[in-house]
Structure 1
Amino acid sequence: METRQESRPLLQTEELGGAAGHKSEQDAYLDKVQNKKLYLATFAAVLGPLSFGFVLGYSSPAIPNLSKISDLRLRLDPTEASWFGSVVTVGAALGGVLGGWVVDRIGRKLSLMLCSMPFIFGFTIIIAAQNIWMLYLGRVLTGLASGVTSLAAPLYISETSHQRIRGTLGSCVQLMVVLGIMGAYIAGLVLDWRWLAVTCSVPPTAMLLFMCFMPETPRFLLSQGKRREAEEALRFLRGPEAPAEWECAQIEGASLEQDSHFQLSDLRDPGIYKPLAVGILMMLFQQFTGINAIMFYAETIFEVAHFKNGDVASVIVAAFQVIFTALAAVIMDRAGRKVLLVVSGVAMAVSTAVFGVYFRLSSPTPTNSSGLEFGSLEPALKDTQLDLSWLALACMGLFIAGFAVGWGPTPWLVMSEIFPTPVRGLASAVCVLTNWSTAFLVTKTFQDLMNLLSSAGTFWLFSVLCALNIVFTVFCVPETKGKTLEQIQAHFKGTG
C-alpha cells in the first residue's frame, strides 16, 4: 500500500509537470512509454499463431501428395484425406479446454513455451510417419497445440500491451494465422509433404527460443502476489522512462476488488456472465458467417473462372486474407472494434446474398412438388456461366475482405480483453471450445444444408446470419478501444 500511495504524487510532479492541467495521469504515463521491447515480446508470442496457421495450411498441399504417394501404407483415400484434414479441429477443441487450465496454473508465458512441444513433436511424427495412424497422431498433436495457442497468445498480448496499441497488437494474432496459411500454401508449391512438415516445425521452434527471454505478463504475476516481478516485467515492456510502479499500482488497485478464486456462484456476477455471453456469442457468430463455405467453394469458383491451377489460386486467396487482416491491424485502434465489426458484417451479408443469386442462376432449376419447373435457366447457363464467373470472384473477394477486416481478428481480440483476471483462462477456454466445436459442426453439416436448402438457400441463410451479426454488434458488443482492461471489466460490472 505504501508503494502505491507514493507512486501517484511521483507521477504527478515529475511526469506531468506543466501539462498537469491538460493531460490525465494515464496519458502522461503513456507518453513516456517506449514500445520496442513490447513489440519484441509480441513478435515472440505471435510465432505461436504463425505455427497455428502452418498447421491449418499444411493439409491443403499435403493431401494431394499423400493421395498419390507410391507407399501404400501412407496413401490416403478420399475418406482418410477428409479425416487428415479435419482431425485437427478435434485436437484444437481439446487444446482449448486444456489451455484454459494451463494458463491459470503456470502462466501465459510458460503456456506458450509448453505448447511449442506438441507442435514440434506432431510435425516430427508426421515426418517419420510409417502408416496413416502416425499421420493422424501428428495432426491431433499439432491441433492440440493450436488450441492452446489460440487461447494463450491473445491473452499474453492483451495483458502485456497498453490501451493505445492493444488493438493493433492483438489483431496480429489473426494476421499471423493467415500468414502461416499462405506460407504453407507457397511452400507446398515446391516441397513434398515431408519437407513441408520440416518447414512447418520452424516457427514453433523459434517461439520456444524467443519466449525464453520474454517476461511473464504483469497481471498474471500480480494475481500470484509477485509484485516485484510484475514491476520488473513492466519496466522491460514499457522502457526505462515510464514509472512502472505507477501502472503496477493501477492494476493492483483494480485487482483488489476481484476474488482470486472462481466459484460457480460467481456466474451470478454481471462482471462475469455478461462478458462470457458476449465472448461465446461472438465465437458462434464468427463461424456462422459461412467462412468455411466460402473457402470450400474457392477452388471451384476459380475453376469456373477458368483459373485451372488450384494451388496458385489458394495462394491468391490466402494473400487476399493477409492484406485485409493487415489493414485491420493498422486501423483497429483508430476505427474501433464495433465499427470494423459492422463494416465486416455488411460486406459479408451483401456478398453471401449475391452469392446465393449466383448459385441460383448457375444451378439446375429446382422443381415444385408437382414436378413443374419454376423457370428454365438451363439453356442460359451455358451462355452466361462465363459472364457470371466475374460475379462469383467479386463476391468471394468482398466476403474474404470483409471477414478479414472485422469478424476474423476481432472476436479473438475482444475475448482477450473482456474477462476479469481470475476467470480469464477458464472463460477464454469456453470461448475457444465454442469456436472450434462450432467450426466442426458447421463443416460437418454443410453438405446436409446444401442438400436441404440448395446452394443458393444455404448462402442466403448465411446472409441472414451475417445481418444478425450486425444487430448483435450494435446492441451487445462493447467498444474497448482506448480502454484499459480494468476499465472494460468495470463497464460490465456497471461501475465504469
Structure 2
Amino acid sequence: MGALENIKDFRKYSNQYLAAFTGTLLTFSVIASYGWTSPTLPILLADDSPLPITSDESSWIVSILVLASIAGPIPTAWAVDKFGRKYTMLFAAIPTIVGWVLIGVAQSVPVLYISRFLSGISYGMQYSSMPLYLGEIASDTIRGSIGTLLTVMAKAGILVEYSIGPFVGFRTLAWISVVFPSAFFILFMWMPESPYYLLAKNDQTSAAKSLRWLRKRDEVDDELNMMKSAVEKSKQNKGTFRELLTAGNRRSLIVVLGLGALQQLCGSQAVIAYSQQIFEEVQSGLEAHESSIIMAVIQLVTATLSSSIVDRAGRRPLLLISTSGCAIGTFIVGLYFFLQQQGVAVQSVSWIPLIVIMLYIISYTIGLATVPFAVLGELFPANVKAVAAAMYTMFASAVGFGVAKLYQVISDELGTYVSFWIFALCSSLFVIFVYLLVPETKGKPLDQILEEMRFSQNRSLTNCCKRGKTVKL
C-alpha cells in the first residue's frame, strides 16, 4: 500500500521533479568539475605526466575553482531578479562549457588555471540561483526532497568523474564531461520559469500557466493568490544586502552562513578533491581509485536516501547526526595518520580509516551536504532570497578556498593528521551551533517559517533587554 501511495505521489508531483532534475543537471556538471581533480591530479603529478605540475600547482588547480566561485554570486544576485531564475541558470552553464573545452586543448598549466576559474564562476552562479529556483517551484510537502535533489546530482557528477577519470586521459575526460552542461542547456530551455518571479514582474498569466504545469492541475487560483500576497509583501522592502541585516532576517543570515562554513570546515571538500591521494596514504589493500569510486557510490546512495527522508525526519535531527558523525570520523582518521607518522605499525588495521572515511561520507551526505540548501530556500522572504543565496555562496566559497588551498600546505608541512584534527575540532564546535540556532522547518509553509524566525528573534531581544543586556546580532 505504501509503495502504491509513493507511486501516486510521484505522478502527482512528476512535473516538479522533472523541472528540478533538469535544472540540477547544471549542478551535476559544475560539481563534476570539482571532482575532476581527484582522478586527474595523480596523473598530472606522476613521473610520466602528459602535463607536468608541482604539488603547489596542484593545490592551485583545486582551489582556483573555489576562489572564482566567490565572484559568481555577484552578477547572479542582480540577474535572477532582472532576467529571471531560468535564464540566469542557462547563462551559468556557459563558463563551465568553455572551461571543459579549455582543458580538452590545454598544453600548459596557466590554461588549466583559466579553465578552473571559468568553472568556478559557474559554480558560484549555480549555487546562488539553484536553491532559489527549486524552493519556488516546489509544493510545501516535497520542498525538502526537491531541495536536496541538488546534492544528489552533485554526488552523481562526482561519481562519474571518479569512475571514468582513472581509465582515460585527462583531456578525454574533459571532452566527455562537456556533454553534461551542454545537455542541461538544451533541455532546461523547455522548463518553466518560477511563478514567484513572474508574479514579481506582474505577469500573472504566465505565472498561472507555469503553476498549472508544475502542479499538473487547472485549479491553482488559491495557491497563486498566496504567492501573489507573498510577493507583494516582499516588494515593500527592497532586496539589498543591507536588507539582510534587518531584525527580521539577521538570525536567518547567521544560520545559513554558519551552515555554509560548516559544510567546508568539516573537511568534505578536501576529502572530495584529494580523495585518491588520501586513499594512497591509507594503503588499505584496494587501489586508490577503487576506494574513491566506492566512496562516490556511497555518497550518491546516501544523498538519494537523504532526499527521501528530509521531509520525514526533519532538518535538525539530520544536521545534528551529520555534524557529530563528521567530528568522530575525522578524529579517527587523523589518529590513524598520526600513528602512521610516528612509526607505529598500523598496516594490520589499515582497513579502519577506509571504513571510517566511508562512514564519514555517509554522515556528511545525509545532512550537511543536503539540508543547508533546503534551509536556504526557506528562511528568507522572496525579496532577499537571491541576495541571501549570493551571500551564502560567497561566504561558503571563501571558507572553502581556505580549506582547499591550506589542506595540501598543512598536510605537506605538518602532516595529514593535523588537517583531519582541525576538521574534527571545527565539526565538534558546530554541533553546538546547530543545536542552539538552526530551526526545524519540516512541512511548514514559507510564511509560517518567516513568522517563527521573526518571533524567535524578537523574543530573544525582549528577554535580553529585560536582563538589561545590549544585544548585537
Residues 313 and 264 from structure 1, CA distance in 2 versus in 1: closer, same or farther, beyond 3 angstroms? closer
Tell me the distance in 2 between the aligned counterparts of 1:65 and 1:440.
Answer: 23
Question: 1:10-25 alignment to 2 at 5 Å?
Answer: none
Residues 308 and 223 from structure 1, CA distance in 2 versus in 1: closer, same or farther, beyond 3 angstroms? same
Residues 85 and 452 from structure 1, CA distance in 2 versus in 1: closer, same or farther, beyond 3 angstroms? closer
**What amino acid is the match of 1:409?**
T
Tell me the distance in 1 between the aligned counterparts of 2:82 and 2:240.
Answer: 16
Q: Which residue of 1 aligns with 2:130?
A: 153
- The C-alpha deviation readout for 1:313-355, integer Å capped at 9, x for no partner, is 2211211211211111111111011110011122122223333
Q: Which residue of 2 aligns with 1:463?
A: 424
Residues 404 and 34 from structure 1, CA distance in 2 versus in 1: closer, same or farther, beyond 3 angstroms? same
Unaligned runs of 5+ in 2: 1-7, 458-473
Q: Which residue of 2 aligns with 1:169?
A: 146
Higher mean C-alpha deviation, range 445-454 or range 464-473: 445-454
**What amino acid is the match of 1:439?**
G
Is 1:332–2:310 an aligned residue pair? yes
Q: Which residue of 2 aligns with 1:224?
A: 201
**Which of 244, 249, 254 matches 2:220?**
244
Is 1:410–2:371 an aligned residue pair? yes
**What amino acid is the match of 1:61?**
P
- The C-alpha deviation readout for 1:206-260, integer Å capped at 9, x for no partner, is 111111111110111112222221111100100125x211101011123332225
Task: Verify the 8 A CA contact 1:93 1:147 in the aligned structure 2.
Answer: yes
Tell me the distance in 2 between the aligned counterparts of 1:198 and 1:123.
Answer: 7
Is 1:113–2:90 an aligned residue pair? yes
Task: Verify the 8 A CA contact 1:48 1:204 in the aligned structure 2.
Answer: yes
Question: 1:87-126 alignment to 2 at 5 Å?
Answer: 87-126=64-103
Residues 167 and 136 from structure 1, CA distance in 2 versus in 1: closer, same or farther, beyond 3 angstroms? same
Q: Which residue of 1 aligns with 2:469?
A: none
Task: Verify the 8 A CA contact 1:307 1:313 in the aligned structure 2.
Answer: no
**Which of 320, 337, 359 matches 2:298?**
320
Tell me the distance in 2 between the aligned counterparts of 1:277 and 1:159.
Answer: 22
Task: Verify the 8 A CA contact 1:58 1:181 in the aligned structure 2.
Answer: yes
Task: Verify the 8 A CA contact 2:64 2:401 in the aligned structure 1.
Answer: no
- The C-alpha deviation readout for 1:41-98, integer Å capped at 9, x for no partner, is 11111101100121112223333444569898x5434333332232211221211333
Residues 207 and 344 from structure 1, CA distance in 2 versus in 1: closer, same or farther, beyond 3 angstroms? same
**What amino acid is the match of 1:312?**
E
Tell me the distance in 2 between the aligned counterparts of 1:207 and 1:345.
Answer: 32
Q: Which residue of 2 aligns with 1:311?
A: 289
Is 1:201–2:178 an aligned residue pair? yes
* Identical pairs, percent: 29
Q: Which residue of 1 aligns with 2:323?
A: 345
SS of the aligned residue for 1:94 comes to coil
Please state how far the C-alpha of 1:200 moved relative to its aligned partner. 0.9
- The C-alpha deviation readout for 1:172-208, integer Å capped at 9, x for no partner, is 1111111101101212133222221111111111111
**Which of 143, 152, 160 matches 2:120?**
143
SS of the aligned residue for 2:439 comes to coil
Q: Which residue of 1 aligns with 2:55?
A: 78
Is 1:398–2:359 an aligned residue pair? yes
**Which of 450, 454, 462 matches 1:493?**
454
Unaligned runs of 5+ in 1: 1-29, 365-377
SS of the aligned residue for 2:193 comes to coil
Higher mean C-alpha deviation, range 59-68 or range 41-50: 59-68
Tell me the distance in 2 between the aligned counterparts of 1:434 and 1:278.
Answer: 12
Q: Which residue of 2 aligns with 1:266?
A: 243
RMSD: 2.7
Q: Which residue of 1 aligns with 2:335?
A: 357
Tell me the distance in 2 between the aligned counterparts of 1:409 and 1:273.
Answer: 22
Please state how far the C-alpha of 1:452 moved relative to its aligned partner. 8.9
Task: Verify the 8 A CA contact 1:112 1:149 in the aligned structure 2.
Answer: yes
Tell me the distance in 2 between the aligned counterparts of 1:58 and 1:50.
Answer: 12
Q: TM-score, normalised by structure 2?
A: 0.87
Tell me the distance in 2 between the aligned counterparts of 1:128 and 1:51.
Answer: 19
Tell me the distance in 1 between the aligned counterparts of 2:21 and 2:115.
Answer: 26
Tell me the distance in 2 between the aligned counterparts of 1:360 and 1:136.
Answer: 33
**What amino acid is the match of 1:220?**
Y
Please state how far the C-alpha of 1:135 moved relative to its aligned partner. 2.5
**What amino acid is the match of 1:118?**
P
Higher Rg of the two aligned structures: 1
Question: 1:26-65 alignment to 2 at 5 Å?
Answer: 34-65=12-43
Task: Verify the 8 A CA contact 1:480 1:488 in the aligned structure 2.
Answer: yes
Task: Verify the 8 A CA contact 2:42 2:277 in the aligned structure 1.
Answer: no
Please state how far the C-alpha of 1:466 moved relative to its aligned partner. 1.8
Residues 32 and 291 from structure 1, CA distance in 2 versus in 1: closer, same or farther, beyond 3 angstroms? closer
